[in-house]
């Protein structure tokens, strides 16, 4: 094997850090809280990952490759199944969103925390730009290109603003703040990604068509 197997305790550190960083942000979490949560001495985090910032980056990178692959596969899959004109807007957005149900499917709570961490980073003026681009720009630009094909004649500016709207709706979903639960009196649940995407897909698809294609179907 080219990559050495990480010790189980270092994995637990990553798991706990992932959850706490997602809830409270980088500065809201101390290495001691992480160590305590992982049942480990404080110094161990430094030993395995170096500085606190390195640990943060390690957490953020850990699941990025797998996530990108899942979403890219979904895009390729719907592209293969589509006709000569390529997939339509709904299919592309579906490929963009559905792989994010991975937490519910696998039952791995870690994925839920990771997605909330992405939401934290993506919405942060301080972390956002630098950290997101490095790991996700390539994938995002592929999706935007697919959308461009599905929306012939769309202006660049319109396309990017529409993606921005989609990204925002998604980000707030991933953050799982529980606000929609309260507002709706329990009729909607932040934890129900399925329901969120069931609504987000037709919502944003209609938005893309309206703005980029004059509402034509």
Nearer to DNA, 41 or 105 (CB): 41
Q: State the Cα torsion 79-82-83-85 to the nearest 10°.
A: -50
Q: Does 195 bind a second copy (CB under 8 A)?
A: yes
Number of residues forming the site for a second copy (CB under 8 A): 66
Q: Which residues bind DNA (CB under 7 A)?
A: 4, 7-10, 29-33, 39-48, 50-53
Q: Does 213 bind a second copy (CB under 8 A)?
A: no
Q: Name the binder of 46 from DNA, a second copy, none, CB < 5-8 A by kind.
A: DNA
**What backbone phi and psi angles, to 5 degrees, belong to 119?**
-60, -45
Question: CB-based contacts of 13: which residues, under 8 Å, 6+ apart?
Answer: 34, 35, 38, 40, 44, 45, 48, 49, 55
Nearer to a second copy, 79 or 165 (CB): 165
Q: Name the binder of 14 from a second copy, DNA, none, CB < 5-8 A by kind.
A: none
Q: Does 177 bind a second copy (CB under 8 A)?
A: yes
Q: Does 110 bind a second copy (CB under 8 A)?
A: no
Q: Name the binder of 59 from DNA, a second copy, none, CB < 5-8 A by kind.
A: none
Stretch that binds a second copy, among 4-12, 39-47, 92-100, 179-187 (CB under 8 A): 179-187
What x-and-dash track marks residues 128-157 binding a second copy by CB under 8 A? xx--xx---x--xx--x-----------xx
Residues numbered 24-53 forming contacts with a second copy, rule: CB under 8 A: 24-28
Can you give the binding site for a second copy, defined by CB under 8 A? 22-28, 116, 119-120, 122-126, 128-129, 132-133, 137, 140-141, 144, 156-158, 160-173, 175-180, 182-184, 187-188, 195-196, 199-200, 202-211, 215
């Amino acid at each position: 094997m080219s990559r050495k197997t990480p010790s189980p305790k270092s994995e637990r550190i990553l798991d706990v850090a992932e959850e706490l960083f997602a809830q409270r942000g980088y500065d809201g979490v101390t290495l001691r809280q992480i160590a305590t949560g992982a049942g480990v001495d404080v110094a161990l985090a430094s030993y395995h990952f170096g500085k606190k910032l390195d640990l943060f980056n390690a957490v953020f990178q850990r699941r990025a490759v797998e996530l990108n692959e899942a979403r890219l596969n979904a895009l390729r899959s719907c592209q293969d199944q589509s006709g000569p004109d390529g997939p339509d807007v709904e299919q592309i957005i579906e490929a963009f969103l559905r792989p994010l149900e991975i937490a519910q499917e696998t039952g791995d709570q870690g994925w839920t925390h990771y997605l909330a961490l992405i939401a934290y980073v993506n919405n942060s003026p301080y972390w956002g730009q630098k950290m997101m681009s490095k790991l996700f720009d390539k994938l995002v630009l592929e999706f935007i290109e697919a959308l461009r094909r599905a929306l012939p004649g769309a202006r660049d500016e319109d396309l990017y603003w529409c993606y921005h709207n989609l990204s925002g709706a998604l980000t707030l979903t991933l953050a799982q703040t529980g606000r929609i639960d309260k507002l709706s009196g329990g009729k909607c649940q932040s934890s129900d990604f399925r329901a969120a995407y069931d609504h987000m897909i037709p919502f944003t698809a209609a938005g893309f068509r309206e703005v980029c294609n004059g509402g034509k179907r």
